[in-house]
Amino acid sequence: MIADLTPPALRGRYFGVRTWITNLVALIFSFVSAGLLQFLTGNPRLAFAIIFAGAGISRMVSCYYVTQVAEPKPALSVNPHRESIPQIAKGLWSTNIGRFIIFAFFMTLAQNIDAPFFSVYLLRGLRINYINYQVINATAAIVPTFVAVWWGRRAGRAGNLKVLHITALMIPFVSFLWLVSPNVVWLCSVQIYSGFVWAGFNLCLGLFIWDAAPQDNRSRFIALFGGLNALGITLGALIGGNLGPHLPEISGSYFLTLFLIAGVVKLLVVLGLFRRISEVRHVPSTKTSELLFGGLKSMTAKWLQKT
């Protein structure tokens, strides 16, 4: 539905703004929840009951606003000969969008080998308090709030695949950086890097599937994409949860070993699968340095002219 509502040329900027809004709201209420947990340390059941009740009420409000959205008219008439999801799944590797879906599945699986256990490592391994825990987590949420629109503009100009390529190569190092130090300041720095990278990757992951999926069969491709991503989340968490306790320890923690393995797996997925995917939009060739630092260069030039 969102693909029918948003013109392709505006999707990058639209989702950049939407991500900015949702991250800002999430950031505010994550601090509210952390403060509540810290204030009601002696009565955690009451604290979690209030948090869960607030989440439920918020979802009911959201449900109301969904009812106010009109169903968009389909871009094309229904084709009775469209492929079914099993038929699409059988030929995934033979198509560009199919290879992208496979890449996204393995990337999601690799990400979730260690993603569910960062919180466990902080709370049980490092035994930090709820406030420091929330500061570390909130840092990763603050950065996308500021860079989502920035990534959206660059995706609109250079193409979603270009942004995906850059960020996908940077993602494995998020896991590696957790091994450097348990210091809270360092972990916040890692989360700044993580928020910057994942903001671009997640934004363009969704945008690319809408660009690449054929309009007359878009819903089935998106359904398969979402289903395989959910499977990747499940399998990754199961692999990490069962593998972790049997790993040798690094600096007294098997979680760090798990982070190292997950980072290596992510890097192998990117190097092995990403090069088989092609951009589907006509976009100008853009150098990585120009995409990342082009705006900074022009701002510096303007500042030098003024001074």
- Which helix or strand (DSSP H or E) is residue 212 part of? helix 184-212
pLDDT at position 197 is 94
Check which CATH number belongs to the domain holding 125 and give it: 1.20.1250.20
pLDDT at residue 293 greater than cutoff 80: no
pLDDT at residue 173 greater than cutoff 60: yes
**Which range has highest mean pLDDT (129-143, 174-188, 212-226)?**
174-188
pLDDT at residue 47 greater than cutoff 80: yes
Q: Is residue 48 part of a domain?
A: yes
**Among the listed ranges 212-226, 237-251, 291-305, which one has the minimum average pLDDT value?**
291-305
Could you give the number of structural domains in the chain? 1
Instruction: Assign 57 a pLDDT band (cuts: 50, 70, 90).
Output: very high
pLDDT at position 52 is 95
Q: Is residue 297 part of a domain?
A: no
Return the higher-pLDDT residue of 119 and 144: 119
Neighbours of 232 (CB within 10 A): 19
Q: Is residue 184 part of a domain?
A: yes
pLDDT at residue 6 greater than cutoff 60: yes
Q: Residue 250: beta bridge partners?
A: 253
What is the average pLDDT value for the chain, to the nearest integer?
Answer: 86
In this prediction, residues 11-38 reach a mean pLDDT of 81
In this prediction, residues 39-65 reach a mean pLDDT of 93
pLDDT at position 72 is 75
Q: Is residue 300 part of a domain?
A: no
- Percent of the chain residues past pLDDT 90, beyond the cut: 44
pLDDT at position 298 is 57
Q: Determine the structural domain holding residue 20 and report its residue range.
A: 2-72+91-280
Within 8 A by CB and 6+ apart from 248, the residues are: 254, 257
pLDDT at position 215 is 77
Query: 88-97 pLDDT, tens per residue?
Result: 888 888 889 9
In this prediction, residues 258-287 reach a mean pLDDT of 90
Q: Is residue 77 part of a domain?
A: no
Residue indicated by tokens 């940077």: 170
For residue 282, give Cα distances in angstroms to 100, 161, 167, 204, 208. 18, 11, 20, 16, 13
Task: Say whether 284 sits in a helix, a strand or coil.
Answer: coil
pLDDT at position 105 is 96
Q: Which of 217, 6, 14 is nearest to 101 (CA)?
A: 217
Q: Is residue 306 part of a domain?
A: no
Q: Is residue 84 part of a domain?
A: no
Q: Residue 253: beta bridge partners?
A: 250
Q: Is residue 250 part of a domain?
A: yes
Return the higher-pLDDT residue of 231 and 289: 231
- Which helix or strand (DSSP H or E) is residue 88 part of? helix 85-90
Whether the Cβ atoms of residue 102 and residue 229 lie closer than 8 Å to each other: no
Residue indicated by tokens 């009812």: 67
pLDDT at position 144 is 81
